[in-house]
């Protein structure tokens, strides 16, 4: 495993970080708690010391699972990355989305990051995680109803109290990053980035490189699309959000798999899976500090972790990118 520092902080994180969205089951067709815990522990055993979660993932369940998984581990050997700013238990702020909870009941999720809400969310997260501090605390989505200054000053207060070590953001564009940085020392921006979603290369990556902000790439395997395991005609569970995404139409599955077949000889040469090759390519791109990789079980977790050990020469990275540049997806 490799480790990199976040921004100008002293916080070192594993380049493959365990993404615990799927572990919470929400929008992924449910979860199996024991399997999720085993996956986190297996990752830790091979050097994945960083875990990214959020209260909204399973409406608290993901954080509880993470807390169970790390309970007997040395706290200073783990980096907990969690979030705030999405509330399903009150109707303040702006509506983010309509969804369902684990019981199949309809819920409305709001973007809300007022001072009082953040303080409340932090206390709840600490309890679910079974810890007294969070290593990286990130606003999950921008909240247009609360001044950024108020939001960032609340996080600063938590840092002063020792409940949070460092501040990060998620899904922020360069304008929001500039404004937030006036009020707090930001160390990271967590944004979607994958071989089929590279728009951040235009503005966000150059900005983050210039201002020493780490980029945490989420959905680097594009929710399983880039593993090569899904074929046209794939059937998703009724509550699996991927069924409605354009990436998973039969046309795009065929096009992506055609691209993956072109780079499969390199994966065979490196004795790694397609997914591992994709993850390695991701963490070697300019500005990308870590890749968040989700896993539903121990086998997937170990496969993800091993991606850090794949060795790719600059010429091999360039070859992958040249093949990738020919890929065009239907909208």
Q: How many residues does this entry show for the chain?
A: 331
**Residue 275 Cα to chain centre, angstroms:** 16
Judge contact between 66 and 51, C-beta under 8 A. Answer: yes
d(CA 225, CA 206): 27
If we measure between CA atoms, which residue out of 186, 117, 120 comes closest to residue 146?
A: 117
Quote the Cα angle for 1-167-217, to 5°: 45
Judge contact between 125 and 63, C-beta under 8 A. Answer: yes
The tokens of 40 are what?
């986190």
CB atoms within 10 A of CB 187: 23
CB atoms within 10 A of CB 184: 20
Sort strands 12-14 and 3-5 into parallel, antiparallel or unpaired.
Answer: antiparallel
Judge contact between 166 and 11, C-beta under 8 A. Answer: yes
CA 73, 75, 81, 85 torsion-angle sign: positive
By three-state DSSP, how is residue 172 classified?
Answer: coil
Which residues are identified as catalytic? 57
Q: Rg of the Cα trace of the chain?
A: 19
Which residues pair with residue 214 across a beta bridge?
A: 188
d(CA 280, CA 278): 5
Rounded-to-10 torsion of CA 139, 144, 150, 155 = 0
For 222-231, b where at least 16 C-beta lie within 10 A, e where not — what string? bbbbbbbebe
């Amino acid at each position: 495993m490799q480790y990199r520092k976040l921004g100008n902080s002293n916080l070192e994180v594993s380049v493959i970080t365990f993404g615990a969205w799927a572990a919470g089951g929400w929008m992924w067709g449910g979860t199996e708690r024991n399997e999720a815990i085993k996956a986190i522990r297996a990752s830790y055993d091979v050097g994945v010391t960083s875990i990214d979660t959020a209260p909204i993932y399973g409406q608290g369940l993901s954080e509880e699972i993470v807390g169970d998984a790390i309970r007997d581990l040395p706290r200073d050997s783990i980096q907990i990355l969690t979030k705030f700013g999405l509330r399903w238990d009150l109707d303040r702020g702006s509506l983010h989305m309509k969804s369902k909870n684990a019981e199949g009941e309809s819920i409305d999720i709001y973007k809300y990051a007022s001072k009082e809400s953040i303080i409340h969310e932090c206390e709840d997260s600490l309890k679910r995680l079974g810890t007294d501090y969070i290593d990286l605390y990130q606003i999950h989505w921008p909240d247009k109803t609360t001044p950024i200054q108020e939001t960032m000053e609340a996080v600063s207060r938590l840092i002063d109290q020792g409940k949070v070590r460092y501040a990060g953001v998620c899904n922020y564009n360069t304008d929001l990053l500039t404004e937030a940085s006036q009020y707090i020392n930001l160390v990271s921006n967590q944004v979607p980035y994958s071989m089929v979603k590279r728009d951040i290369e235009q503005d966000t990556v150059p900005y983050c490189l210039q201002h020493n902000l780490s980029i945490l790439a989420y959905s680097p395997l594009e929710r399983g699309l880039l593993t090569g395991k899904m074929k046209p005609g794939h059937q998703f569970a009724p509550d699996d959000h991927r069924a409605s995404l354009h990436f998973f139409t039969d046309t795009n599955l065929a096009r992506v798999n055609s691209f993956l077949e072109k780079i499969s000889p390199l994966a065979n040469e490196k004795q790694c899976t397609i997914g591992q090759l994709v993850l390695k390519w991701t963490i070697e791109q300019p500005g990308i500090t870590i890749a968040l990789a989700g896993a539903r079980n121990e086998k997937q977790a170990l496969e993800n972790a091993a991606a850090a050990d794949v060795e790719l020469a600059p010429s091999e990275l360039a070859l992958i990118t040249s093949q990738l540049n020919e890929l065009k997806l239907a909208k």
